[in-house]
Amino acid sequence: MRSANRALIICLYLLMGPMAVTAQDSELEIAKETLEKYVENTESNSDYTDLSEQLEYLVRHPINLNMAVQEELSRISQLTPEHIQALLLHRQLYGKLTSIYELQVIAGFEPDFILTIKPYINILENLELSDLNYQSFRKNYHHEVAYLSQRRLEKSVGYKLPDSDRNAFRGSPYRHVVRYKASMGKNLSFGFNTEKDDGENLRNSFFSSYLQFLSTGKIRQLLIGDFQAAFGQGLCFGSGLTFGKSAFVLDVMRRQNGLRPNRAMNENEFLRGGGFIYKISAGIHLTAFYSLKKIDATTSEDSMNESRFTGLLNTGNYRNLPELSKKGILKRRIAGSNIEFKSGKLQIGLTMVHTKYGSEQSLDEKKSYQLYNNHVSAIQNYGTDYKLFHKNLLFFGEAAMNQDLKSFSFINGVIASLDKNFDISLLYRNYSMYYIPSITNAFGETQDNHNEKGLYMACSFTPIKNYKLNAYADIYHFNWLRYQVDAPSRGSDMMLELQFTKRRLFSWYVRYRNEQKQKNEAGTQIINRLELNRRQLLRFHLEIKINTSMTLKSRIEHVWYQRQFGKTLNGMLMLQDLQVQVFKNVKLLSRLMFFDVEDYNSRVYAFENDVMYSFSVPAFQNRGTRFYLLVKYKMNKNIHLCFRFARTSYENTESSGSGQDKINSNKTTDTSIQLLWAL
């Protein structure tokens, strides 16, 4: 009976296969498209290299669908508990999959959906980690080097100041980046990144490197150099970039656990030292790490002439004397450990982190909002996290605290597939105002992960074929004052999106977002009272794949920003993308955009294609047009060349930027060239 079912299934997918999944797109390209969709839906311009690397890692080390347990499958963000449950049931009934196309017979695995997860899965026996030896080193050696040079053609004020001026930029206006990474199969990898920012002297370049061993023995991972560490939901400890609220409304659970090399170019937001993962027994792993790093900070001296830091900086710019004076002046030591228990459907982790700064933080008594901020030099964080699968439900959460009970903070969530067409997620967080985080990246309205409580609810509904409705609502409250908020405050955030997708050839979505948040009333008042600020966004986005070589994207977006005691400010954007594969090895990506924004608060964001492994989501204000052209040239199998030219012309201002970055021109022109060599 079982073999008969198997035969039927194989026949089915052989019949359906050709119309469905095509292997034309390279898997890395699909993964990059996925990341682009994530980035496209964010409204911040960060260094997304880290996330790009994580996806690339998943592509190079796909999850074996025949072997993976629930927890491993949940690392693929597109898989809902319903998918996981259906896959496991299928495996239980019919045995191992013989091809990934067999997934089409499982409920919920539509051809388009399989295409999106295809880069991260396989059904082959995973190649086991092997012993290190020269032969295998030569055989599996893979390396990649990328060089990027960028320059803004218009010089800012900082370059025009005389050398005697403290604020004069000390270096050339070029930005140079070199990335190198090498790996030997799964066992060994090594890499370094170096960056000279525009305006910086070559001596102040950033350098970061790592060496990583992976093995099947007792020591599962050994990582030396610069790295990121994250455990549970990132409340006790979590470094590295994560996405918060986005159009991927169900994706609120943190999926990264453990150590990973740092590949981002941010000078401050990583750990420097080493760590390892030790297998105590089957299902029990111990992770320990230590980091000693000098970070940028602002300092002041107290009445006893003792130096205290007043704030941490993460701009990573060292272009003039004032910026150089803040470079690496604060030592930060972090030691941490995590023990993880995995048993069937349950995973539990315990984390302990000790953070010590070189000096105590200075507390400005006038700034009441800092009352509960960190002003001690040493912080202890303890946390416990869990993940539990139960039928179509995935529960997750974490609790964390410092040494005292009143700092107890927690986050709990559930992702549930109520029907094959209807998924929901719920998440409640309560971060105490007494909680002093070390480095965290847990879900929240703010990145501080303290002084916040809120409830997030989301649903994703497919009412009819090709249509999808995504919605979320987040209601939150801050128990204590915040920067520019002189009283306990509240806010809410709501999004509604209707998507239409037809065989990856044509798609559109309409999105409405409404954010309300309390802030001090604008202007100088004797006693600041709070006013409710509302920001609404309406976007229509259209994407058409004319044929295999041409894609058009259009977008129109309007933003309204309304103060409770003020007038409404408007921002609008209209853009058209044209992407053409001119020749087999040359691709052109271009954009023409118009924006008209009244004020910074009504600014608009737009994702932009950039050179390889680079993403940008700049914010636009004032009124003007922007044009960019990106040329990707594949010289041969191993060498890629990219060139990008972007120009913004402002119509209602004769300058842009501020301070030393001010450009006395109504145009800004950015050029980039990148060479990538992979072997």
Q: Determine if 636 is a binding residue for another protein (CB under 8 A).
A: no
Q: What is the DSSP string of 489-514?
A: EEEEEEEEEEEEEETTTEEEEEEEEE
Q: Determine if 554 is a binding residue for another protein (CB under 8 A).
A: yes
Q: What is the DSSP string of 202-219?
A: GGG-EEEEEEEEE-SSSE
For 154, the 3-state DSSP assignment is coil
Q: Which is nearer to another protein, 136 or 655 (CB)?
A: 655
Q: Which is nearer to another protein, 263 or 541 (CB)?
A: 541
**Which residues, including other chains, have CB under 8 Å from residue 420's CB and lie 6 or more apart?**
82, 107, 108
Q: Which is nearer to another protein, 298 or 590 (CB)?
A: 590
Torsion of CA 466, 463, 468, 508, to 10 degrees: 50
Q: Determine if 536 is a binding residue for another protein (CB under 8 A).
A: no
| Cα gap 205→545, rounded to integer Å | 42
Which DSSP state fits 304? T
In 283-358, which residue ranges form alpha helices assigned H by DSSP?
321-324
Q: Determine if 550 is a binding residue for another protein (CB under 8 A).
A: yes
Residue 191 near residue 182, CB atoms below 8 Å: yes
* Contacting range for another protein; rule: CB under 8 A; set: 141-149, 160-168, 425-433, 540-548: 540-548
Shortest gap between Cβ of 565 and another protein (angstroms)? 24
Shortest gap between Cβ of 154 and another protein (angstroms)? 18
Q: Determine if 512 is a binding residue for another protein (CB under 8 A).
A: no
Among 388, 457, 542, 629, the residue binding another protein under the rule CB under 8 A is: 542
Could you tell me how many residues of this chain bind another protein (CB under 8 A)?
Answer: 24
Residue 676 near residue 146, CB atoms below 8 Å: yes
CA–CA distance from 505 to each of 216, 286, 464, 543, 575 (Å)? Answer: 43, 47, 18, 8, 19
Q: Which is nearer to another protein, 359 or 625 (CB)?
A: 625
| Cα gap 517→495, rounded to integer Å | 15
Site string for another protein, 608-627 (x = CB under 8 A): ---------------x-x-x
Q: Which is nearer to another protein, 346 or 574 (CB)?
A: 574
Shortest gap between Cβ of 625 and another protein (angstroms)? 6
Which DSSP state fits 420? T
CA–CA distance from 556 to each of 330, 513, 540, 605, 621 (Å)? Answer: 46, 14, 5, 12, 15
Q: Determine if 506 is a binding residue for another protein (CB under 8 A).
A: yes
Q: Determine if 496 is a binding residue for another protein (CB under 8 A).
A: no
Site string for another protein, 644-663 (x = CB under 8 A): -----x-xx-----------
Q: Which is nearer to another protein, 115 or 574 (CB)?
A: 574
Shortest gap between Cβ of 580 and another protein (angstroms)? 9
Q: What is the DSSP string of 169-188?
A: --S-SEEEEEEEEEEETTTE
Among 572, 630, 642, 663, the residue binding another protein under the rule CB under 8 A is: 572
Question: H/E element holding 353?
Answer: strand 346-357
Among 122, 136, 201, 576, the residue binding another protein under the rule CB under 8 A is: 576
**Which residues, including other chains, have CB under 8 Å from residue 106's CB and lie 6 or more apart?**
86, 87, 90
| Cα gap 54→41, rounded to integer Å | 18
| Cα gap 405→237, rounded to integer Å | 18
Question: H/E element holding 114?
Answer: helix 111-117
Among 276, 369, 594, 633, the residue binding another protein under the rule CB under 8 A is: 594
Q: Determine if 378 is a binding residue for another protein (CB under 8 A).
A: no
Q: Determine if 547 is a binding residue for another protein (CB under 8 A).
A: yes
Among 592, 612, 619, 631, the residue binding another protein under the rule CB under 8 A is: 592
Shortest gap between Cβ of 616 and another protein (angstroms)? 22
Binding site for another protein (CB under 8 A): 506, 542, 544, 546-547, 550, 552, 554, 556, 558, 570, 572, 574, 576, 578, 592, 594, 596, 623, 625, 627, 649, 651-652
